[in-house]
Structure 1
Amino acid sequence: MMRFIVDECTGTKVANFLRNQGYEVFSVYEQARGSTDTELIHKACTENWILITNDKDFGEKVYRENHPHHGIILLRLDDERATAKIAALEHLLASYAAVLPEKFTVVTPKNVRFAGRVS
């Protein structure tokens, strides 16, 4: 079963949706408000969580600063409402769940892009 850290900016409705789908969820907003990006990516990597965020700074952490990760899902949606994020995740999980671990995944309104883990 996949485990997800839902970033503070992604919201509690997304965290609750994932819990209702049976996933183990760590909600930053509920459980670690104010955590830094570095703290989150470290926790996600060392504890085998996939991080869900709409903060593009995580791309910088991975690709410029070479932070290891267990998987990151970056939501780059025009519509930032929780319903849009949930719809995007529903599609992503239904179609691509098996390939999400260890990938940097970018979800846009039109497509899904995957990049491997940077070591």
Structure 2
Amino acid sequence: MSSIFVCLYLDEDVNVLVADLLQARGFDVITVRDAEQLHATDAEQLAYAVSQGRTLVTHNRTDFEELVQSYFDSGRMHYGVIFAVRRSPQEIAQRLLIILNQVTSDEMQNQVRYI
């Protein structure tokens, strides 16, 4: 990746306010709405995140854990997936800030984090 900073892609279930809060702090965050990917399948969402070099943030642990496992099994790489427990947008943003301020984009490759 060319950027040292993690770039995020928030899936459809994550409140768009999370993106607004992180963007206000100067981080590169887009939503499925921004990317015109509304109603895409989970596999398509992850593929889009990979194509854009972005870490996917989702609440959908069950489906995306299976997708990440299939990427691992087939030797495909991704730029990370962060599973967020449903909390207020402010709390999710705070938890994401910890990662954004401590982890590089290279360190997020093929990683899964739970917040």
Same fold (TM over 0.5): yes
Q: Which residue of 1 aligns with 2:65?
A: 59
Q: Which residue of 1 aligns with 2:12?
A: 8
Are positions 1:82 and 2:89 aligned together? yes
Aligned residues: 103
**Residue 7 of structure 1: CA displacement?**
0.9
Distance 1:25 1:87, change over 3 A: closer
- Structure 2 residue runs of 5 or longer lacking an equivalent are none
Residue identity (%):
22
TM-score (norm 2): 0.76
Are positions 1:26 and 2:33 aligned together? no
Q: Which residue of 1 aligns with 2:109?
A: 101
Q: Name the one with the larger helix percent.
A: 2
Asked whether the equivalents of residues 50 and 79 of structure 2 are also in contact (C-alpha less than 8 Å), the reply is yes
The whole-number CA distance in structure 2 between the counterparts of 1:2 and 1:86 is: 14
Deviations 1:4-56 (A, max 9, x none): 11111111011112211222222114432212111111111122111111111
Q: Which amino acid aligns with 1:3?
A: C
TM-score (norm 1): 0.73
Higher RCO structure, 1 or 2 (CA under 8 Å, sep 6+): 2
Q: Which residue of 1 aligns with 2:80?
A: 71
Q: Which amino acid aligns with 2:83?
A: L
The whole-number CA distance in structure 2 between the counterparts of 1:102 and 1:18 is: 22
